[in-house]
C-alpha cells in the first residue's frame, strides 16, 4: 500500500485475535528474528533519553553521510531563509526563522522532493566598518571571525544546510558578479550618475541614511551637525520597472502566497496616484524669476478649499529666496533635525499665491483671496513637485498645520457628506472622504465631488493652468555609499572619455588593504585618499584616470544573492542560463517583516532585469523571485522591572525562588513581568546555544514552533520546554516497546478483512476492534492534518499539538491494540516528527530499523500519506449527552445510529440505546420517559433532551 510504502502487517488475517501470532510466526525468516533480537536490546536497556547527546551523535553521522542524488524526475523545492548579517551572535529570532526553514525543507525532502536549502552571509555594511574603526582591525578580519562563530551556532540547530553552496557577499568571488550585474545595468541605461542631496557627516566624512540622523539633526555616531550636500551619485533606474512591480503584486496575492500586509506596504512605497498638476500664479513683492508654483494633487475637487501653499526646503523658489533672507536660511539649517511630521513652518514674507480658480467670475470671494506660502518639513522634495496645496478642511496634515499657524481662523469646508451640507466629521475635524460640493464651491454646489474634480481639471487645462498626470512615490535607487566596506563600483573616470566601465577581464575590482587606516582608527572613506589604488589608466584612451571611490549599497548584494546559490562556483557568470530556468524562482522565502519593503522591492527589480537580460535570455510572462513569502513574528523575552522605579532588572537583581511571584532582591517587592523585544538594555536576551546545550536542539525546535503560530509574536519562556521534553520521552518509551515487534503486512488489508467480520465478532473482539480503529483513525486524521500544516507553514504550531494528541491516543489504547497496528502507528508518528525533531527521529528510526543509514534517505522513511481507511474505521460507539428539560443529567456511551434512519426512527433508536446503558437504567429508574411531552435528538444522536 502507498501509505506505508509497501510495508505489511499481514496479508491474510483470519481474525483480529490472531494478529499477534501471525506477526511472530517463523515464516518471516531469520532476518525478522535478527531485527527483533537487535531491537530487543534497546527495549531492555537502561539507557535514558539524552537529547543533547543524540544531537551530537547525529550531526556527526549526517556530516559523514555522502549526499545521494535525488531522481532527476523529482519535483524541485527551493527553500530559503533570509541570510544573516554576521554580527557574531545568533539570537532567538534567528533560531526561529532557521528552524522554520529547516523544518519545511526536511518535510519536502521526506516527500521525495529535490530540496535546495543553502546558507550564506550578508557580510558588507556600515556596522562592520564602524566596528573596525572602534577595534582598530580590518573589517574583513572582524567579519570572518563573526561568520565562524555564527556558523558554529547554526551547526548546533540540527539544520540541513547545504554548506557546499555557502557564500559571503564580501568575498571577491561573489562581488565580482555584483560588479558584472552593475555594468550590465549600465549597458542597458539602467545605471547612471546624477547629483543628489544627501545627509553628510562632516566629522566621519560620510553620507548618512535618514535613519542615521537623530531628532536634533545630528549624526547618530559622531554627534556632528549633519549637513545637506549635493553630491554626484550612482542611481539604478528602478522607476522603469514600476508598472510591472505594481501590477504583478496581484499575481503574488493569489492563494495568499504573499502576506496582505507586505503587499500593501509594497503598493504604498510604489505610491502610484492619479491626479493633476495645477499652477498657482505668484504675487511677489520683490523680484523672483518664478511666475507660478506647480502642485500635484490627487484631490482637485478640494481646490476651492485651498487656504495656503507649503513648499519643501529644496524647492527652487525657496532656494532663490534664501539667498537674500538670512532668517529663512537659518530655518533651513535646522530642518534636518526636525521629525518629518513636525508642524513648524516658515512664512515666506515677500510672496503669496493665487488660486487658479480666482480668475473665474463665479468663484466665491473667499477663494479669490491671495494665500500665504510656507516652507514646511512635512512636504517632501522628491514627491510631486515639492509643493502642497493646503486644504485644512479636507486633509488631516493640512488641518493640523493650519491650526498650528492660524488657530483663530476658520477652515473652509467645500465638501460635505450630503446635499444639506451636514458632514460626517466633527466640526473641528477635517472631512476627508469624497462627497457633495458645498456653497463654498460656487457653481459646482450640489455636484458629486469626483465629477466636479474632473470638470475643474478640464476647465483649468484649457487655460493651461492644469493637466492630468500620474505620479509615483518610488524614486530611482541611489546606490552610492562613501564607505569602504562594500562592493567597489567598477567605473574609471577619465578626463577625456568620461565614466568608463572596468573591462570584464579585470573584474573583480577588489578592495585594497588599508591596515594603517584601521590601526589609526581613522574615519571617512580611505579609498578617496589611497592614491596608488585610485590612480589608474583609462581602458579606452589609456590616459591617466581615477577609479570611482564609492562602494555600493549593501541592498545591491542582497537583491540577487538567492540566484547565486543555484550556481555558486561559476566563475564566468553570476549563474548559468540552464540552472536559472531549472531552479528559479525561490519556492519559499522566509524572513522578517522588517524587510517587507526595500529588500523585497529591490530583489524583485533586479530579478526582473536579470531574467530579461542577455544573461538568461528573453523570457516571457511574470518574473518574480519568490513564489511564496513567509514572514515570521518576532521573539520577545521575559522582562522584569522594579515597580518602584520602572527600571529593568538584571538577572541577579531578581529572586526567582517562587517563579510565579518574582521579587526585587533589594526591596522584596513583587517585580513587574512583561515580554519585550530582546535587547541588552532590558537584560532579557537569550543565547539559543545555551538553551540547546541544556535541552537539546530538537526539544528547543519543537518548543519554538509549539509556542505560537509562525506569523505571531512569540513570548519566549524556556521553562516550558520541559513539556516538550516529557512528550519526547513518552515517544521514546513507545519506540522501545514496539521495537521488538516485527514489521510486515498491510494495515489497510487487515482493517478491510476485519471490517467484513464486524457482524460476527464477539464482544471481546469488538472491543479490540474499537481500540485498533481509534488508533489508526487518529493516525490517518493526523497525517492529513499535519501535512496541511507543514504545507501552510503558518500553522506549524498545530503540527506539534497534533502529534502530542496522537501520542496520547496510542499510549491510552496501547494494551488493547494488535502489535502490527501499534508498530505502524508509532512508525508513522516518528516519520511525521522527523522534520521538527530530526536527531530524535533518526535515533528512533535506528531502533526500529537497525542497519538503515538515515530516515531522510530511506524509502521506508518517506512522509506518510493517507491510506483511505477512514471510512472503514468509523466509531461503533459515541458519547450521548442526556438532558432533562435542557439541563444535563448524565452522559452515556451508545452505539452510533445506523445510516438512513428517519427523524422519528432515529429518536426512538437513540432513546432505546440510552435506556439500555447502565447509566440510563440508574438515572431513569422510576421515571417513565415515554410520558415526556417532547424528545429532541440532535448532533446525530450525540445529544438528547427529554422535555417532561
Most confident of 31-35, 467-471, 618-622, 702-706: 702-706
CA dihedral 574, 580, 583, 586 (to 10 degrees): 70
Place of cell 487518529: 778
Query: Mind listing the pLDDT tens digit for each residue in 118-166?
Result: 999 999 988 888 888 889 999 999 999 999 999 999 999 999 999 999 9
Which of the pair, 477 or 204, is modelled with greater confidence? 477
Give the Cα separation of 313 and 377 in Å (integer): 7
pLDDT at 887: 87
pLDDT of residue 147: 96
When pLDDT is averaged across residues 817-825 and rounded to a whole number, the result is 90
DSSP E strands, 452-512: 466-471, 477-478, 480-481, 491-494, 498-501
Measured in whole angstroms, how far is the alpha carbon of residue 622 from the centre of its chain?
22
Determine which helix (DSSP H) or strand (DSSP E) holds 485, and give its type and residue range: none
Nearest to 94 by CA among 601, 700, 695: 700
Position 203 scores a pLDDT of: 79
pLDDT of residue 619: 65
Which region holds residue 217: left if phi is over 0, alpha if psi is between -120 and 50, else beta? Answer: left
Calculate mean pLDDT across residues 15-40: 33
What pLDDT is attached to residue 215?
64
- The confidence score (pLDDT) of residue 421 equals 57
pLDDT of residue 41: 40
Q: What is the mean pLDDT of the chain?
A: 87
Q: Taking every pair of C-alpha atoms in the chain, what is the biggest distance, in angstroms?
A: 116
Cα distances from 379 to residues 266, 296, 425, 470, 857, in angstroms, run: 21, 12, 25, 19, 61
* Strand order across the beta sheet in which 491-494 lies: 498-501, 491-494, 544-547, 535-537
Confidence band for 47, pLDDT divided at 50, 70 and 90:
low
Residue 453: its pLDDT value, please? 93
Confidence (pLDDT) at 307: 96
Q: pLDDT: is 679 or 635 the higher one?
A: 635
Could you tell me the pLDDT band of residue 395, with boundaries at 50, 70 and 90?
Answer: very high
Q: Are 829 and 809 in contact (CB under 8 A)?
A: no
The per-residue pLDDT for range 579-600, each reduced to its tens digit, is 999 999 999 999 998 888 999 9
Residue 544, classed as helix, strand or coil, is strand
Query: φ and ψ at 304, to 5 degrees?
Result: -65, -20
How many angstroms separate the CA atoms of 178 and 645, rounded?
Answer: 52
Q: Which three cell numbers stand for residue 774?
A: 481509534
Distance CA 743, CA 733 (A): 18
- Surface-to-core class of residue 164, CB atoms within 10 Å of its CB (0-12 exposed, 13-18 middle, 19+ buried): exposed
Helix (H, G, I), strand (E, B) or coil at 800: helix
Q: What one-character DSSP code corresponds to residue 651?
A: G
* 429, 414 Cβ separation under 8 angstroms: no
Q: pLDDT: is 268 or 126 the higher one?
A: 268
Nearest to 328 by CA among 343, 354, 350: 350
Q: Does residue 585 have a cis peptide bond before it, meaning omega lies within 30 degrees of 0?
A: yes
Residue pair 711/797 in contact by the 8 Å Cβ criterion: no
Amino acid at each position: 500500500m502507498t501509505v506505508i510504502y509497501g510495508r505489511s502487517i499481514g496479508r491474510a488475517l483470519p481474525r483480529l485475535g490472531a494478529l499477534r501470532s501471525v506477526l511472530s510466526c517463523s515464516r518471516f525468516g531469520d532476518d525478522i528474528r535478527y531485527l527483533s533480537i537487535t531491537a530487543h536490546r534497546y527495549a531492555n536497556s537502561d539507557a535514558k533519553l539524552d537529547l543533547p547527546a543524540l544531537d551530537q551523535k547525529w550531526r556527526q553521522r549526517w556530516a559523514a553521510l555522502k549526499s545521494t542524488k535525488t531522481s532527476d524526475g523529482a519535483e524541485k523545492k527551493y527553500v530559503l531563509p533570509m541570510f544573516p548579517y554576521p554580527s557574531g551572535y545568533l539570537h532567538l529570532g534567528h533560531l526561529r526563522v532557521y528552524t522554520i526553514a529547516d523544518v519545511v525543507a526536511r518535510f519536502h525532502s521526506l516527500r521525495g522532493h529535490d530540496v535546495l536549502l543553502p546558507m550564506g552571509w550578508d557580510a558588507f555594511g556600515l556596522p562592520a566598518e564602524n566596528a573596525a574603526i572602534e577595534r582598530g582591525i580590518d573589517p574583513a578580519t572582524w567579519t570572518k571571525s563573526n561568520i565562524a562563530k555564527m556558523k558554529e551556532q547554526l551547526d548546533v540547530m540540527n539544520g540541513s544546510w547545504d554548506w557546499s553552496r555557502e557564500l559571503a557577499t564580501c568575498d571577491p568571488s561573489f562581488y565580482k558578479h555584483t560588479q558584472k550585474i552593475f555594468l550590465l545595468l549600465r549597458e542597458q541605461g539602467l545605471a547612471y550618475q546624477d547629483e543628489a542631496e544627501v545627509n553628510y557627516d562632516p566629522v566621519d566624512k560620510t553620507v548618512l541614511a535618514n535613519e542615521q540622523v537623530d531628532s536634533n539633526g545630528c549624526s547618530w555616531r559622531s554627534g556632528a551637525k549633519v549637513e545637506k550636500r549635493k553630491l554626484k551619485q550612482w542611481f539604478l533606474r528602478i522607476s522603469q520597472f514600476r508598472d510591472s512591480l505594481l501590477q504583478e503584486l496581484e499575481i503574488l496575492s493569489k492563494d495568499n502566497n504573499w502576506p496582505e500586509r507586505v503587499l500593501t506596504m509594497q503598493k504604498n512605497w510604489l505610491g502610484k496616484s492619479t491626479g493633476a498638476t495645477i499652477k498657482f500664479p505668484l504675487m511677489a513683492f520683490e523680484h523672483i524669476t518664478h511666475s507660478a508654483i506647480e502642485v500635484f494633487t490627487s484631490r482637485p475637487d478640494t481646490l476651492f478649499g485651498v487656504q495656503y501653499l507649503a513648499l519643501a526646503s529644496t524647492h527652487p523658489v525657496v532656494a532663490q529666496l534664501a539667498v537674500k533672507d538670512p532668517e529663512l536660511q537659518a530655518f533651513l539649517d535646522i530642518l534636518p533635525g526636525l521629525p518629518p511630521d513636525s508642524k513648524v513652518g516658515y512664512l515666506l514674507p515677500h510672496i503669496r499665491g493665487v488660486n487658479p480658480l480666482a480668475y473665474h467670475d463665479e468663484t466665491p470671494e473667499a477663494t479669490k483671496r491671495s494665500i500665504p506660502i510656507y516652507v514646511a518639513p512635512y512636504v517632501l522634495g522628491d514627491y510631486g513637485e515639492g509643493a502642497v496645496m493646503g486644504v485644512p478642511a479636507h486633509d488631516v496634515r493640512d488641518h493640523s498645520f493650519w491650526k498650528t499657524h492660524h488657530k483663530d481662523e476658520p477652515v473652509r469646508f467645500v465638501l460635505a457628506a450630503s446635499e444639506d451640507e451636514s458632514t460626517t466629521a466633527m466640526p473641528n475635524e477635517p472631512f476627508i472622504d469624497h462627497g457633495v460640493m458645498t456653497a463654498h464651491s460656487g457653481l459646482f454646489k450640489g455636484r458629486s465631488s469626483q465629477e466636479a474634480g474632473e470638470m475643474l481639471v478640464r476647465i483649468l487645462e484649457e487655460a493651461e493652468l492644469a493637466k492630468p498626470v500620474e505620479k509615483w512615490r518610488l524614486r530611482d535607487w541611489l546606490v552610492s555609499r562613501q564607505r569602504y566596506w562594500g562592493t567597489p563600483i567598477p567605473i574609471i573616470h577619465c578626463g577625456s572619455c568620461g565614466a568608463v566601465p572596468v573591462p570584464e577581464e579585470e573584474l573583480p575590482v577588489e578592495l585594497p588593504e588599508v591596515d594603517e587606516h584601521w590601526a589609526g582608527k581613522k574615519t571617512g572613506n580611505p579609498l578617496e585618499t589611497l592614491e596608488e589604488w585610485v590612480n589608474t589608466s583609462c581602458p579606452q584612451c589609456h590616459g591617466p584616470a581615477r577609479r570611482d571611490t564609492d562602494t555600493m549599497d549593501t541592498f545591491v548584494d542582497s537583491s540577487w544573492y538567492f540566484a547565486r546559490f543555484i550556481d555558486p562556483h561559476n566563475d564566468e557568470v553570476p549563474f548559468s542560463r540552464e540552472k536559472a530556468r531549472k531552479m528559479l524562482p525561490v519556492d519559499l522565502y522566509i524572513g522578517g517583516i522588517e524587510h517587507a519593503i526595500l529588500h523585497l522591492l529591490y530583489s524583485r527589480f533586479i530579478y526582473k532585469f536579470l531574467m530579461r537580460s542577455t544573461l538568461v535570455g528573453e523570457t516571457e510572462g511574470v518574473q518574480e523571485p519568490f513564489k511564496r513569502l513567509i514572514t515570521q513574528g518576532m521573539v520577545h523575552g521575559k522582562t522584569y522591572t522594579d515597580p518602584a522605579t520602572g527600571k529593568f532588572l538584571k538577572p541577579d537583581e531578581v529572586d526567582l525562588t517562587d517563579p510565579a511571584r518574582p521579587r526585587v532582591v533589594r526591596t522584596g517587592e513583587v517585580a513587574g513581568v512583561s515580554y519585550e523585544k530582546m535587547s541588552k538594555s532590558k537584560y532579557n536576551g537569550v543565547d539559543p546555544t545555551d538553551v540547546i546545550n541544556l535541552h537539546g536542539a530538537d526539544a528547543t525546535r519543537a518548543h519554538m514552533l509549539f509556542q505560537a503560530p509562525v506569523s505571531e509574536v512569540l513570548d519566549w519562556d524556556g521553562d516550558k520546554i520541559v513539556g516538550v521534553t516529557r512528550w519526547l520521552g513518552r515517544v521514546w518509551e513507545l519506540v522501545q516497546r514496539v521495537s521488538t515487534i516485527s514489521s510486515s503486512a498491510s494495515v489497510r488489508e487487515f482493517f478491510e478483512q476485519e471490517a467484513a467480520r464486524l457482524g460476527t465478532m464477539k464482544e471481546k473482539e469488538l472491543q479490540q476492534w474499537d481500540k485498533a480503529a481509534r488508533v489508526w483513525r487518529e493516525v490517518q486524521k493526523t497525517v492529513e492534518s499535519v501535512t496541511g500544516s507543514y504545507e501552510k507553514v503558518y500553522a506549524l504550531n498545530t503540527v506539534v499539538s497534533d502529534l502530542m494528541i496522537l501520542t496520547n491516543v496510542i499510549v491510552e489504547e496501547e494494551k488493547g491494540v494488535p502489535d502490527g497496528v501499534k508498530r505502524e502507528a508509532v512508525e508513522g508518528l516518528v516519520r511525521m516528527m522527523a522534520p521538527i525533531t530530526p536527531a530524535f527521529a533518526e535515533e528512533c528510526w535506528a531502533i526500529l530499523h537497525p542497519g538503515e543509514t538515515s530516515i531522510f534517505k530511506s524509502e521506508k522513511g518517506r512522509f506518510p500519506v493517507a491510506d483511505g481507511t477512514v471510512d472503514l474505521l468509523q466509531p461503533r460507539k459515541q458519547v450521548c449527552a442526556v438532558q432533562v428539560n435542557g439541563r444535563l443529567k448524565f452522559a452515556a456511551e451508545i452505539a452510533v445510529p445506523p445510516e438512513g434512519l428517519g427523524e422519528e426512527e432515529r429518536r426512538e433508536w437513540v432513546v432505546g440505546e440510552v435506556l439500555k446503558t447502565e447509566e440510563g437504567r440508574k438515572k431513569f429508574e422510576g421515571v417513565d420517559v415515554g410520558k415526556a411531552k417532547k424528545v429532541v435528538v440532535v448532533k446525530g444522536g450525540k445529544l438528547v433532551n427529554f422535555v417532561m
